Structures are given as C-alpha cells and as structure tokens.
Amino acid sequence: MNAGPGKDATAEAHALQAVEAHHADMLRQLNALAGLLTEAVEARDPAAGQETQAALLDWCDRQLVPHALAEEGPLYSGPHAMPEARLLVDGMLAEHQVIVGLVEELRTADGVAAAVAAGAIQRIFALHLDKENRLLMPFVIESPDLSLARAVEGLHELVGEGAAHHHGQGHHSH
C-alpha cells in the first residue's frame, strides 16, 4: 500500500499500525466479555450472567460507542466527501447505528437474549473492523488529499491511549 504523494509514508504506516492494533485489542476484549456472558448463560448462572453483562455494557459505554463516535469525525468525513468512498462510509455509519442499537438491546435484555445481543455486537463489530482495516484505511492512505495520520492524531478512541500520546506529540489527546 502506497501513501499518496506529498504524505509522510512513515507517519501513515504508524497510524495504520496503531489503529489496527487498537482494533485487534478491542475485538479481543469484546470476544472475551461476550464469551464469558455466553458461558454464564449456558451454565444457568444468573448472578454471573448479570455481572458479566454489566461488565460488557460498561466496556461498550467506555470503549465501543466512543470509538464509533470518534470515527464519525475526522476518519470518516474525508472519505465521505469523495464520491468513490461515500457508499462505503454510509454503510459503515449504518453499522454504527446497528451496534449502538444492539448495545441498547443488551442493556435491557437478560439471560439468553443478552447472550444473543452480545454475540450480534461481537460479529457485527468484527465485520466492521475488517471493512475499516481492509477498505477504508487503505483508501485514506492511498488518497492524495487525505491523511490517516492527521485523521487519528491525538484521538485515543481510535488508536489507544499509548499511541495517541506518542503520535500526537505536542497536542493533548483528550
């Protein structure tokens, strides 16, 4: 993958690496929490199920939803303005709405319904991350007028805490 002309290819590669690593970390956390909730439901342990569901909801509220909202700003706005990426971004925005709706469903569900909602969040988020990693971010990097490094600079919701501080030098990350 080549950075567009006039861009710092190293900065673009570091930004891509940071976002992909953050995505992988988020997916690992989501998979673990959803798996624990399913196990608790299968074991018919309502107390463990409620505890795990609360932990998953807390993670969604602190990590997943803020990540989605942060993407809708600088990461999505540039490609959305370009005809060749508009439909992709529209589809990804629709996925955000589905994910947020499923988090709300999880909030009021219990037992099997909670495990089903958690599994749906898990699978849609995995698909969504795959599209971002394989389609959207390469498009941004290869577009001469866009920069992934600039789009994610200082946004810990998109690159994780450590990377936001390293790549956003001179800027506050909050």
Q: What is the pLDDT of residues 85-101, one digit of tens each?
A: 999 999 999 999 999 99
pTM of the predicted structure, to 2 decimals: 0.87
Q: What is the C-alpha separation between 50 and 56, in angstroms, rounded?
A: 10
Handedness of CA 38, 100, 54, 56 (dihedral sign): positive
CA angle 68, 148, 89 (to 5 degrees): 45
Assign 3-state DSSP to the chain and report helix, strand, coil percentages, each to 5.
80, 0, 20
In whole angstroms, what separates CA 171 from the centre of its chain? 22
47-76 residue pLDDT tens: 999 999 999 999 999 999 999 998 998 899
